[in-house]
Structure 1
Amino acid sequence: MSLSSRATLVVLCCLFMLIPSFTTAATEQGLHARSRCESYSFNNGKSFRSCTDLLVLNSYLHFNYAQETGVLEIAYHHSNLESSSWISWAINPTSKGMVGAQALVAYRNSTSGVMRAYTSSINSYSPMLQESPLSLRVTQVSAEYSNGEMMIFATLVLPPNTTVVNHLWQDGPLKEGDRLGMHAMSGDNLKSMASLDLLSGQVTTTKSVNRNMLLVKQIHAIVNALSWGILMPIGVMAARYMKNYEVLDPTWFYIHVVCQTTGYFSGLIGGLGTAIYMARHTGMRTTLHTVIGLLLFALGFLQILSLKARPNKDHKYRKYWNWYHHTMGYIVIVLSIYNIYKGLSILQPGSIWKIAYTTIICCIAAFAVVMEILQFKKRWARLFFKKSKDVEADQPTVSVDVV
């Protein structure tokens, strides 16, 4: 085995070893002993007998509750907030998750600066938070904003003698045209739900269904990053660079096939598993990320089928098959990497995920650049040597007669 082929194998092995184990650490945030809500006074003169500092998102809930009638008067208070944000507080009368929540939503109009407050019934994990009636009777819905603090006021009527409710609170960015953007899918935004005892004011954390969804999405991200985003490019490089060394023929072909088929079927399982789970538990929407994923499955399947139609090396149509197979392969790689970054932007798992994947892709790209340079030099050397031999062959033979 030549030195160059050994170097190729060593670098490919190193790339395999660089595959990281993407892990996330979930940290629990305890309830602070302080109670800021008790010292807060409202500018509109309203007063509330009970209040509680919510566990996350710089939020507080003030309320008056009459158990006999079920009338609940609330003021949801969110501090340390940009004016270009929206807030929401909700009660879920049917479960502890997001689906089924009856929400109060508020935001500040970007043009007039006037606060808008309305109701929205949440029926999926990807809600648009459009205005809609609630299953609960609600009146006197209003909102205020002042110095980074946003508040929602409302009066709700619960079933009489209700003592404990499941409530949720959330915030997110306000986009162009006063469209409500997606809230963050990590950190405190996935911890903002609890059970509230309306008599004692005690808040008890509940396991969020959102966390199960987050776990599914994280597994989806890990599997597809490893399969489409790492194994696929390595398989392409094995075919492009290793086949130039006769000693590695047909080893390069088997490495190529193993990487591509493993990557494809792993990605297929990860993608379909996520799709099935989300279809059963959420109102899944079609996004560009989803469309590209489906396109990748189709292109990958065509690549596998094309192996059955691969002509022999000396067949006259082999060059056309090579052109098709290589072009489709490069398209799959480009779309895969783009879609992984698209997925990371949706998941928002933290910068370490993107840094880790970017590091691996840069290592793969750097290796590819080095190999392209070496191959270019090798082709030039071979061409120069061939031309030199041709020139020598064309030189006339001079014979000298010795008298």
Structure 2
Amino acid sequence: MTQSTDSKTAKHPFQDQAKEVKGVVYLEQQGWKVDGGEACVGRICLELSPSDNLGTVTTCNSQTFTENKVFDSCRDLSHLTSYLHWTHDNATSNLDIAFGHTGISATNQWVSRAINPSNDLNTSMTGSQALGTISPSGGAPRVYASSIPDYSPTFSEGNISYPHSGLTATHQNSEITIYATLALPNGTTTLVHLWKDRPVSAFTPAMHSMTPANTQSKESLDLLSGASQAGSSGDSLRRRRNVHGILNAMSWGTLMPLGAIIARYLKVFKSADPAWFYLHVTCQTSAYIVGVAGWGTGLKLGHDSAGIEYNTHRTLGIVLFCLGTLQVFALLLRPNKDHKIRIYWNFYHYAIGYATIIISIVNIFQGFDALEASVGDRYNDWKHAYIGIIAALGGIAVILEAYTWIIVLKRKKSANKTAHGINGTNGVNGYGSSAQHV
């Protein structure tokens, strides 16, 4: 057993004991998280290899069942220390299963195994048909079937699309096993299945954790050969969500307000004319191009996440795209300064621009709420960073607002003095001579 590179010199008190016990259950009971070939507690990680003296680690081949149940095939599943035994009758398409999940020492925990009828690994949870069990404190496991229509299921007991019989469950030695016979559609030889564990609150399964062990616990299984194909990892979807958030936060949420600040305040400085205009156009055009890319990634995420609905976030995103596109066309149709409709164009440009900025900022926070709803609070740092950016831009705008007003008022006062002097101040009229009394 070797330590990971992050903790080569550290030695955990359980390390020596871990080498002397059998299986991974002891490690889990002592607070270790065991997944695949690695066991971690805090920042200490131990890599488990076949040469480690852990005794005989339980695999599906060495397992036995009550009532002398025997299955034709078995497979150690890739995540959550789980396994699957099955017997498939190709003539009747009946599937006898025993799904096991080790390391479940706590009660009030939901363990399930589900089949996705659409055989889609990318959206395996939506529409899946689950067999699950809850182990209440001091009682026998309660096992039942439940259909999962979307990503916010109630897990209520009900019918599923696969007729089933013999649905039972056991909870012994920190291991939950679910038994059932399922009637699959005729000719079924492969299926997409997933397995999860979740905490239970008020007798209702809560959201499972978003660790890779939970997000990647799915695969396509060939019932005849036992071969499997893992689904795309949760990391891929998470990475695309991150890209979507970064593109939109930087474009609609940062560059767009910055471009408005440039247009409103820099043009007050005579030395910045016409540079402020080109800076403004560059900033807003860049924001629109990057924002359209972010909008496109959002459409793709929505397509790949069937059953996940963030209606407000989606609607505001569509509105932003439309407003941004209108601004681009407005730039192309901008009349000359002395044109009679220029005043109306200015009003339109300002109204659409400020509306876009306000909706952009609101929708950025809608996006953060959507992320936190799916993965917990891991995006709090991102939200705080964006709040800092917006606060900084707001602070700069307040300072420039005050400073440019001072400049404008001084210029107005100076212009009034000049005009007053030319029109007769101090006894000099507009013609350059003293006023004469008749």
The normalised TM-score by structure 1 is 0.64
Which of 113, 122, 135 lines up with 1:89 in the alignment? 113
Offset of residue 169 of structure 1: 0.7
Structure 1 counterpart SS, 2:262: helix
Asked whether 1:242 is paired with 2:266, we answer: yes
Q: More displaced, 126-135 or 69-78?
A: 126-135
**Deviation by residue 1:36-77 (Cα, 9 ceiling, x = unmatched):** 4679999xx6666577653323x4236463758745142433
Matching residue of 1:373: 399
2-structure distance, mates of 1:250, 1:81: 71
Aligned residues: 362
Q: More displaced, 254-263 or 278-287?
A: 278-287
Asked whether 1:56 is paired with 2:83, we answer: no
Offset of residue 346 of structure 1: 4.5
1-structure distance, mates of 2:353, 2:305: 39
Matching residue of 1:194: 219
Offset of residue 244 of structure 1: 2.9
1-structure distance, mates of 2:336, 2:415: 34
Superposition pairs of residues 350-365 of structure 1, within 5 angstroms: 351=378, 355-356=381-382, 358-359=384-385, 362-363=388-389, 365=391
Superposition pairs of residues 36-55 of structure 1, within 5 angstroms: 36=58, 53-55=76-78
Kindly provide the amino acid, as one letter, of the partner of residue 131 in structure 2.
L
Asked whether 1:65 is paired with 2:90, we answer: no
1-structure distance, mates of 2:300, 2:407: 55
Kindly provide the amino acid, as one letter, of the partner of residue 245 in structure 1.
F
Matching residue of 1:231: 255
Identify the structure with bigger relative contact order (alpha carbons < 8 Å, sequence gap 6+).
Answer: 1
Asked whether 1:344 is paired with 2:371, we answer: yes
2-structure distance, mates of 1:182, 1:330: 34
CA gap of 1:382–1:302, structure 2 versus 1, over 3 A, is closer
In the alignment, is the contact (CA less than 8 A) between 1:121 and 1:133 conserved in 2? yes
CA gap of 1:380–1:174, structure 2 versus 1, over 3 A, is farther
CA gap of 1:80–1:256, structure 2 versus 1, over 3 A, is farther
Which of 313, 332, 335 lines up with 2:359 in the alignment? 332
Which of 118, 135, 145 lines up with 1:119 in the alignment? 145
2-structure distance, mates of 1:191, 1:74: 21
User: What is the RMSD computed on CA atoms of the aligned residues?
Assistant: 5.2
Offset of residue 363 of structure 1: 3.9
In the alignment, is the contact (CA less than 8 A) between 2:320 and 2:356 conserved in 1? no
CA gap of 1:316–1:163, structure 2 versus 1, over 3 A, is closer
1-structure distance, mates of 2:380, 2:298: 20
**Deviation by residue 1:208-263 (Cα, 9 ceiling, x = unmatched):** 38666555544433432332233223323322343332222233233323333333
Asked whether 1:105 is paired with 2:171, we answer: no
1-structure distance, mates of 2:119, 2:329: 47
Q: More displaced, 157-166 or 220-229?
A: 157-166
Matching residue of 1:15: none
In the alignment, is the contact (CA less than 8 A) between 2:323 and 2:352 conserved in 1? no
In the alignment, is the contact (CA less than 8 A) between 2:220 and 2:231 conserved in 1? no
Structure 1 counterpart SS, 2:245: helix
2-structure distance, mates of 1:83, 1:253: 66
In the alignment, is the contact (CA less than 8 A) between 1:141 and 1:154 conserved in 2? yes
Superposition pairs of residues 268-307 of structure 1, within 5 angstroms: 268-272=292-296, 274-275=298-299, 278-279=302-303, 282-283=306-307, 285=309, 287-304=311-328, 307=331
Could you list the runs of 5+ residues in structure 1 that have no partner in the other structure? 1-27, 398-403
Offset of residue 89 of structure 1: 0.6
Structure 2 counterpart SS, 1:267: helix
In the alignment, is the contact (CA less than 8 A) between 2:327 and 2:349 conserved in 1? no
In the alignment, is the contact (CA less than 8 A) between 2:192 and 2:220 conserved in 1? yes
Could you list the runs of 5+ residues in structure 2 that have no partner in the other structure? 1-34, 39-47, 51-55, 427-438
Q: More displaced, 29-38 or 222-231?
A: 29-38
2-structure distance, mates of 1:176, 1:309: 61
Larger radius of gyration: 2
Matched residues, percent identical? 31
Kindly provide the amino acid, as one letter, of the partner of residue 156 in structure 1.
L
In the alignment, is the contact (CA less than 8 A) between 1:344 and 1:354 conserved in 2? no
CA gap of 1:268–1:287, structure 2 versus 1, over 3 A, is same
Offset of residue 139 of structure 1: 1.6
